[in-house]
Amino acid sequence: MDKEQVFQTDKEYYMPVFARYPLILDRGEGPYVFDTDGKKYIDFLAGIAVNVLGHAHPKLVAAIAEQAGKIIHCSNLYYTEPQAALAKTLAKQSGLDKVFLGNSGAEANEGAIKLARKYGKTISSDKVEIITATDGFHGRTLLTLTATAQPKYQKGYEPLPGGFHYVPYNDLAALTALVSEKTCAVMLEPIQGEGGINTPDADYLAKVRQLCDQYGALLIFDEIQTGIGRTGKMFAYQHTDIKPDIVTLAKGLGGGVPIGAFIASNKVAAAFGPGDHGSTFGGNPLACAAANTVLGVIAEENLLANATAVGAYLKSELKKLQQKYPQLIVTVRGQGLMLGAKLTKPGRDIVNQCMEQGAIINCTAGDVLRFVPPLNITKAHVDEVIAVLDKVLALA
Ligand SMILES: *Cc1c(COP(=O)(O)O)cnc(C)c1O
């Protein structure tokens, strides 16, 4: 197929739900991707915080090939070693106890909410309410788009599942007013990703933890975007001294192979028994082998330290651009390699122009440029993207 044929075929045969860029990606190498014309781009979106090792990392490629040659899938009616090993690593690294593996972020959150409901009912039959934050994002299934307190994702899908309540993010007074003995869980992102890289006040998450404890409500952290080293710690809550009762993961976990997880304390996980939840594909040996390799490489190649150091550098370079273009950039925010630059206007044109100049970033919440590159980038890669952005902003 030539380019026009790909565009045309997609238009004719794919559901029209994506506003795609006119770019056909063919392959990748480290932090770079190449289109079908062979044009090279530096990729600071990384499949939206997914390709944490960059593209075609030799160890990940080898692990997937090796596992594919052994066994790709078997039912969860049987044990596999990659799944047992991954569950142990995730439990140890999170400081929690029991893991369930699925295939996506929405599925991880769906499972976490199901578990929270089951657990709430062990305390009281009306302890079923879930509180989430406006501008959050938790997925696209009917339950998780209900947890996603943004009308644009919910419109047209009513009736929505019941029992959900919303508070503004980072607003402790609003949460204090809403939380009650009927609350079974409060679910939040430690930094809101899709909502615009919104970082809460330093003590917000700890205060939410206190409130949850006071009412016997579970605290669920959706770390689907912030997890797997993105903010410089394996889990973003590890920047604080609290931990959640349940944490959810997906995006970076498989380095690009679809996998999601939720991890809970023993106390909470005990609400599940045989038959209460399940998945055909979830935790299959191929996805687990990929995730085991991602976690291994993050440790071996010191990628948490790298995300911290290179993230701080990217942030300072973005702040320099903010000083140079104060009429365009309002704030630079985020942590580690999860950064946003809020603009004074919609960002789509800037994203398009960066793409033409060979740099892939994206824009979320309409006017926030988002940077979620691979965790193994260097300062030289940052310089490449900043040079492109400088050129584009000069003309914006
Ligand atoms: C991407 C994302 C999801 C949804 O993940 P999918 O794999 O697309 O279902 C949920 N929560 C957060 C915070 C995300 O960033």
pLDDT of residue 372: 98
Pick the last residue of a domain from 268, 300, 332: 300
Q: State which residues of the chain have pLDDT below 70.
A: none
Ligand 1 centroid vs 326 CA: distance in angstroms? 32
Residue 183 counted as domain residue: yes
User: Do residues 107 and 123 both lie within one domain?
Assistant: yes
121 is catalytic: no
Residue 245 counted as domain residue: yes
The span from the first CA to the last CA of the chain, in angstroms, equals: 35
Residue 89 counted as domain residue: yes
Can you give the CATH number for the domain in which 44 is found?
3.90.1150.10
* Rounded-to-10 torsion of CA 339, 342, 345, 351: -10
Scanning the chain, the segments in alpha helix (DSSP H) are 3-13, 46-49, 58-70, 81-94, 105-123, 142-147, 151-154, 172-178, 204-215, 266-269, 285-300, 303-324, 348-356, 379-395
User: Do residues 110 and 17 both lie within one domain?
Assistant: no
User: Do residues 135 and 9 both lie within one domain?
Assistant: no
Residue 65 counted as domain residue: no
Pick the last residue of a domain from 270, 285, 300: 300
Residue 207 counted as domain residue: yes
315 is catalytic: no
Can you give the CATH number for the domain in which 254 is found?
3.40.640.10
pLDDT of residue 267: 98
User: Do residues 259 and 327 both lie within one domain?
Assistant: no
Ligand 1 centroid vs 146 CA: distance in angstroms? 13
Residue 370 counted as domain residue: yes
pLDDT of residue 254: 98
Residue 139 CA, closest ligand 1 atom number? 4
pLDDT of residue 8: 98
User: Do residues 82 and 46 both lie within one domain?
Assistant: no
User: Do residues 257 and 311 both lie within one domain?
Assistant: no
Pick the last residue of a domain from 243, 277, 300: 300
Q: Report residue 165 as tokens.
A: 């309540």
Q: What is the DSSP letter of 338?
A: E
Domain span at residue 311? Answer: 3-56+302-395
User: Do residues 138 and 154 both lie within one domain?
Assistant: yes
User: Do residues 158 and 206 both lie within one domain?
Assistant: yes
Q: Is 187 in the pocket of ligand 1 (CB under 6 A)?
A: no
Residue 66 counted as domain residue: no
Q: Report pTM.
A: 0.98
Task: Provide the domain count of the chain.
Answer: 2
Residue 49 counted as domain residue: yes
Ligand 1 centroid vs 137 CA: distance in angstroms? 7
pLDDT of residue 141: 98
Q: Give 220-289 as a DSSP string.
A: EEE-TTTTTTTTSSSSGGGGSS---SEEEE-GGGGBTB--EEEEE-HHHHTT--TTSS--SSTT-HHHHH
User: Do residues 200 and 333 both lie within one domain?
Assistant: no
User: Do residues 280 and 327 both lie within one domain?
Assistant: no
pLDDT of residue 273: 97
CB 115 within 8 A of CB 269: yes
CB 183 within 8 A of CB 208: no
User: Do residues 25 and 50 both lie within one domain?
Assistant: yes
User: Do residues 158 and 248 both lie within one domain?
Assistant: yes
Q: Is 376 in the pocket of ligand 1 (CB under 6 A)?
A: no
Q: Is 370 in the pocket of ligand 1 (CB under 6 A)?
A: no
118 is catalytic: no
Q: How far is residue 254's CA from residue 257's CA, in Å, rounded to a whole number?
A: 5
pLDDT in tens, 228-265: 999 999 999 999 999 999 999 999 999 999 999 999 99
From 233, 251, 315, 342, the catalytic residue: 251
Q: Report residue 69 as tokens.
A: 């040659």
The phi and psi torsions of 273 (rounded to 5 degrees) equal -130, 175
